[in-house]
Chains A and B, each alone.
Chain A
């Protein structure tokens, strides 16, 4: 059990981020981290303080093979993806290849993919349930603006207290590469960025967003490049109605 002394906790968190903890001390600290939210917050705050040091390093372009390997891994994520990189596994398979083995491995991959998807959906559903059941929750309908987004429709539900919202859109047109839809919270003349998203082949997405304004006057959606200036540059393709 880690000490309750704030000075000791503070120093250990700092040393962990700095990297001086090693061996059993580092492993012990990581076990404490799993159970102690206050300690995690201390570590996060030290990361914010110390990691700007990394910005001074000259960037090093990684070889293309790393990205190819990553892309393969995320295309078919298994529950234990390192297994697929194991030469031993493939050698063993070469010896005992059978249809049954291959089928079992395919099943494992499918279960892994489904598990990750299920965890994401579960977390999203929990957040949505918490949001809609909150006492101050509000809702607004969204409609397409202009000829390219005439079929677009959706809604946003948000809690001024939680400063969180959940938005659903349908039938938004596809965007060129490098462009993303950005939701803006309208407060008087100001437009505050509230999140970016893309849409699937039917122009659909549903996601959690940040709604900073307590009493927003409305919502707008525009196409924008990532990391653009915090003011809208593209045309408004959706806004709230009613």
Chain B
């Protein structure tokens, strides 16, 4: 995630300034990162009103905990993505809305490394490596992983959507994770 390895992580630098209480840096951080994080939230929870609430809460948390960010553990956008995803998943699981199985096919069309947003994302070394490793998984397993990540599916909803037994979905994911890590750390 982020730019090429040799460039400076601009968001990380802004977080560093936020940790020192710099509100101008926080405004710039929001300007640069909020549209990407808002996209993550909306993709997961599909509700704009609640998405706005989550984005607001997440950025207040980012401001208050900027000092916890450790650059040696990864780029800043990853750290912030973790915060918004956890808040979105907490909301999804807490309010337990019925995850819509409608429109999934349309939304899946972009999950294609040849699509325009993906081409841009693949400029990042980490994203390219991840997509290469996903490409080594069986097609059904890859689809299951992507649907969980982007759409917030649980094993149960995935089993209904993909029309396979629950145990099959669980074993796909449990086999895929060590395989992915092995590939990414090769």
Interface on A for B, CB 8 Å cutoff? Answer: 7, 10-11, 14-15, 17-20, 22-23, 26, 44, 46-63, 65-67, 69-71, 73-74, 77, 81, 116, 120, 123, 177-178, 180, 193, 195-198, 205, 207, 210, 226-230
Contact = CB atoms under 8 A, between A and B. Distances in A.
Given A59-B35, A123-B67, A230-B8, A53 B146 contact: yes
A47 B173 contact: no
Interface of B: 1, 6-11, 13-14, 16-17, 19-28, 30, 34-36, 38-40, 42-44, 52, 55-56, 59-60, 63-64, 67, 71, 73-74, 77-79, 81-82, 85, 89, 93, 110-111, 115, 117-118, 120-121, 124, 126-127, 130, 145-146, 148-150, 152-155, 173-174, 177-178, 180-181, 184
A66 B148 contact: no
B16 A56 contact: no
Contacts of B17: 180, 196-198
Identify the interface centre among A50, A54, A67: most chain B CB within 10 Å of its CB. Answer: A54
B175 to A, nearest CB: 10
A73 B26 CA distance: 13
Contact of A48 (B78, B146, B154, B155): B78
Contacts of B67: 120, 123
A53 B184 CA distance: 13
A19 B177 contact: no
A17 B13 CA distance: 25
Contacts of A26: 89, 93
A10 B178 contact: yes
Given A58-B39, A60-B38, A60-B42, A49 B7 contact: no
